[in-house]
């Protein structure tokens, strides 16, 4: 990134001056220094860089876990040296990984959790890639068996998918078919789905917790639309549910919502252990309803580490500690603990949504009753002389990170602002936020209010 500011200093030199005896007073920034640096100095330099980052607890932009308890922290420091791929060297971590996805298969109502298959990943992005790859490979096998071409696969999804699905389509040469969201169809709900589907459709992505707004896509309704399409055309199209956030909310807060393996059309589901799985970054999970849905030729058997371990992953090495942390969270909380934790988070989201909706200038897009995430826009017609970007800036001055951004294609003229409520944002902190927001709205309104000039005529000073 370039910046307009020029300090006149050489940007390639950093100058930590801690006056430690015998130490150089500068070091190159973009090259290795010739000599070692004292550990204290190196530590201080890195810490000082990171200090300028935002405060993670006030970061209401991210879905990713920023807090675990002391026992989890202890476990983390005791296990950060484990490489998840060394399954033969760390067989217990590998076993715990299996407990993890088996638990999720059960939580998501797999008809036969023992016959399901799954894996941990570095996050939902990798998990979605794996889910997408399995869809694509199964489609290729089907096409080849029928003597049909395999050169034009497409994947049907909402225009409001997370960027990982754009990446999947780009990296693996799959045509993305985006169903636009609109004011009438705020999420992909199965309407007109037949216009997007043909024999080259590898699958449909349904999002449980749309990243832009936090709303659930009605997976059962999408499945029913696909049932009708199958009845009319014979095309049996399966669903991958992107439950990056909702996969760890719906089982506890909306247990009667049918979105998971209870729907026969749902072939695979991913979630982010590091979102509402309540673990530090980076951990994701993906589970297939049954082992036969994961084509055998995608699985690698790595023998040079000593054993014969099947793996399906994009990465080779990655941290194993998060897998242990997920198991800790499962044991520590149990079903009731997850219900209580996610329930408290949801109550904060609804409180914030209520109050923000009642402030006057804002129109809620949704109320945080799916995942604890909600978005709002400025009420139309809008005569205000400030935008949500201005409000976001004002809040940032107080440490709150609450982004404003345009909605996806077809609604890109609509700017929304979004809050992601996570474990760690309690009611007290939420009320401080509401106070700050009310003060900032009053301030922005005052800037945009005509002030009388000397002659008593209104004049704008904005």
Ligand X SMILES: *Cc1c(COP(=O)(O)O)cnc(C)c1O
DSSP secondary structure, 152-180, as one string: --EEEEETT--HHHHHHHHHTT-EEEEE-
Distance CA(394)–CA(398), nearest Å, equals: 7
229 vs 283, beta carbon nearer ligand X:
283
CB nearer ligand X, residue 113 or residue 273: 273
**Residues sharing a CB contact under 8 Å with residue 73, sequence separation 6 or more, in sequence order:** none
Identify residues 60-89 at the interface with ligand X (CB under 6 A). 63
Contact window for ligand X (CB under 6 A) among 24-32, 118-126, 167-175, 294-302: 118-126
We find the least distance from the C-beta atom of residue 219 to ligand X, in angstroms, to be: 13
Nearer to ligand X, 128 or 181 (CB): 128
Query: Judged by CB under 6 A, does residue 353 bind ligand X?
Result: no
Nearer to ligand X, 229 or 244 (CB): 244
* Selection from 341, 257, 247, 237 nearest residue 286 by Cα: 247
Residue 230 beta carbon to ligand X: minimum distance, rounded to whole angstroms? 26
Position among 59, 93, 110, 125 found at the interface with ligand X (CB under 6 A) = 125
| Own/partner pairs, 367-371, CB within 8 angstroms, 24+ separation | 368/214, 368/419, 368/421, 370/209, 370/214, 370/215, 370/216, 370/246, 370/249, 370/254, 371/209, 371/214, 371/216, 371/245, 371/246, 371/249, 371/276
211 contacts ligand X (rule: CB under 6 A): yes
Rounded CA-CA distance 333/76 in Å is 17
Q: Which is nearer to ligand X, 143 or 322 (CB)?
A: 322
Q: Are 289 and 111 in contact (CB under 8 A)?
A: yes
Nearer to ligand X, 314 or 333 (CB): 314
Among 193, 244, 323, 395, binds ligand X (CB under 6 A): 244
How far is Cα 164 from Cα 137, in angstroms, rounded to an integer? 18
* Residues from 423 through 462 that contact ligand X (CB under 6 A): none
Pick one of 164, 202, 263, 411: the residue that binds ligand X (CB under 6 A): 164
User: What part of residues 267-286 is at the interface with ligand X (CB under 6 A)?
Assistant: 272, 284
CB neighbours of 206 closer than 8 A, spacing ≥ 6?
A: 188, 217, 219, 222, 239, 240, 241, 242, 259
Does 120 engage in binding with ligand X (CB under 6 A)? Answer: no
Q: How far is the CB of 64 from ligand X (least distance, A)?
A: 7
As measured in angstroms, the least distance from the Cβ of 14 to ligand X is 31
- Minimal CA–CA distance to 278: which of 341, 229, 223? 341
- Name which of 275 and 394 has its Cβ closer to ligand X: 275
In whole angstroms, give the CA distance from residue 29 to residue 156: 46
Q: Which two tokens stand for residue 437?
A: 């927001």
The footprint of ligand X on residues 375-414 (CB under 6 A) is: none
Listed ranges 98-106, 122-130, 292-300, 443-451: which one lies at the site for ligand X (CB under 6 A): 122-130
Is residue 242 near ligand X by the rule CB under 6 A?
Answer: yes
Of 66-74, 240-248, 329-337, 393-401: span binding ligand X (CB under 6 A) = 240-248
Smallest separation (angstroms) from ligand X to the CB of 454? 55
Q: Does the footprint of ligand X cover residue 124 (CB under 6 A)? A: yes
Q: Does 373 bind ligand X (CB under 6 A)?
A: no
Q: Give the number of residues in contact with ligand X, rule: CB under 6 A.
A: 15
- Residue selected from 207, 215, 250, 430 as contacting ligand X according to rule CB under 6 A: 207
The Cβ of residue 305 has, within 10 Å, a number of other Cβ atoms equal to 13
In contact, 269 and 113? CB cutoff 8 Å? no
CB of 176 to ligand X, least distance (A): 14
Does 366 engage in binding with ligand X (CB under 6 A)?
Answer: no
Binding segment for ligand X (CB under 6 A), chosen from 30-38, 77-85, 137-145, 205-213, is 205-213
Which member of 162, 200, 201, 342 binds ligand X (CB under 6 A)? 162
Nearest C-alpha neighbor of 237 from the set 185, 196, 297: 196
- Least Å distance, CB 121 to ligand X, is 8
Q: β-strands 300-302, 373-378: how paired?
A: unpaired
Question: Exposed, middle or buried: residue 246 (CB in 10 Å: 0-12, 13-18, 19+)?
Answer: buried
Residue with smaller CB distance to ligand X, 162 or 392: 162
Can you list the positions of beta strands (E) in 15-87? 27-28
Number of helices (H), then strands (E), in the chain? 10, 17
Cα 272 to Cα 121: distance, rounded to the nearest angstrom = 9
In terms of CB distance, is 318 or 394 closer to ligand X? 318
Residues that bind ligand X (CB under 6 A): 63, 123-125, 128, 162, 164, 207, 209, 211, 242, 244-245, 272, 284
């Amino acid at each position: 990134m370039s910046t307009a500011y020029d300090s006149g200093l050489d940007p390639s030199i950093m100058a930590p001056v801690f006056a430690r005896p015998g130490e150089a007073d500068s070091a190159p920034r973009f090259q290795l220094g010739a000599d070692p640096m004292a550990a204290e100095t190196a530590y201080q330099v890195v810490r000082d860089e990171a200090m300028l980052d935002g405060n993670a607890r006030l970061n209401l932009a991210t879905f990713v876990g920023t807090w675990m308890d002391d026992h989890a922290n202890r476990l983390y420091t005791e296990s950060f040296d484990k490489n998840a791929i060394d399954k033969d060297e760390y067989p217990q971590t590998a076993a715990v990984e299996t407990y993890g996805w088996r638990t999720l298969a059960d939580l998501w109502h797999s008809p036969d959790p023992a016959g399901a298959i799954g894996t941990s990943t570095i996050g939902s992005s990798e998990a979605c890639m794996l889910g997408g790859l399995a869809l694509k490979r199964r489609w290729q096998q089907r096409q080849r068996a029928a003597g049909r071409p395999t050169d034009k696969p497409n994947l049907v999804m909402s225009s409001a998918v997370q960027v990982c699905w754009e990446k999947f389509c780009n990296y693996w040469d799959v045509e993305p078919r985006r169903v636009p969201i609109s004011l009438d169809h705020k999420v992909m709900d199965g309407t007109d789905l037949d216009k997007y589907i043909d024999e080259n459709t590898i699958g449909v992505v349904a999002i449980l917790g749309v990243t832009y707004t936090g709303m659930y896509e009605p997976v059962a309704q999408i499945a029913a639309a696909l049932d009708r399409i199958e009845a009319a055309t014979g095309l049996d199209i399966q669903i991958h549910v992107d439950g990056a956030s909702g996969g760890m909310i719906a089982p506890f807060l909306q247990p009667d919502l049918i979105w998971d393996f209870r729907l026969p059309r749902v072939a695979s589901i991913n979630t982010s252990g590091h979102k509402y799985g309540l673990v530090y970054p980076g951990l994701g999970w993906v589970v297939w309803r049954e082992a036969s849905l994961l084509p055998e030729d995608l699985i690698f058997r790595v023998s040079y580490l000593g054993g014969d371990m099947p793996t399906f992953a994009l990465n080779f090495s990655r941290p194993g500690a998060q897998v242990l942390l997920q198991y800790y969270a499962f044991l520590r909380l149990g079903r009731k603990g997850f219900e209580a934790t996610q329930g408290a988070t949801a109550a904060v989201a609804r409180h914030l949504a209520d109050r923000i909706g009642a402030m006057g200038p804002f129109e809620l897009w949704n109320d945080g009753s799916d995942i604890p995430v909600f978005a709002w826009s400025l009420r139309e017609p809008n005569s205000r002389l400030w935008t949500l970007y201005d409000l976001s800036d004002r809040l940032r001055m107080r440490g709150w990170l609450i982004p404003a951004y345009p909605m996806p294609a077809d609604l890109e003229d609509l700017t929304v602002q979004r809050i992601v409520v996570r474990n760690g944002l309690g009611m007290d902190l939420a009320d401080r936020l509401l106070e700050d927001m009310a003060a900032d709205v009053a301030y922005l309104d005052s800037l945009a209010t005509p002030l009388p000039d000397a002659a008593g005529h209104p004049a704008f000073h904005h």
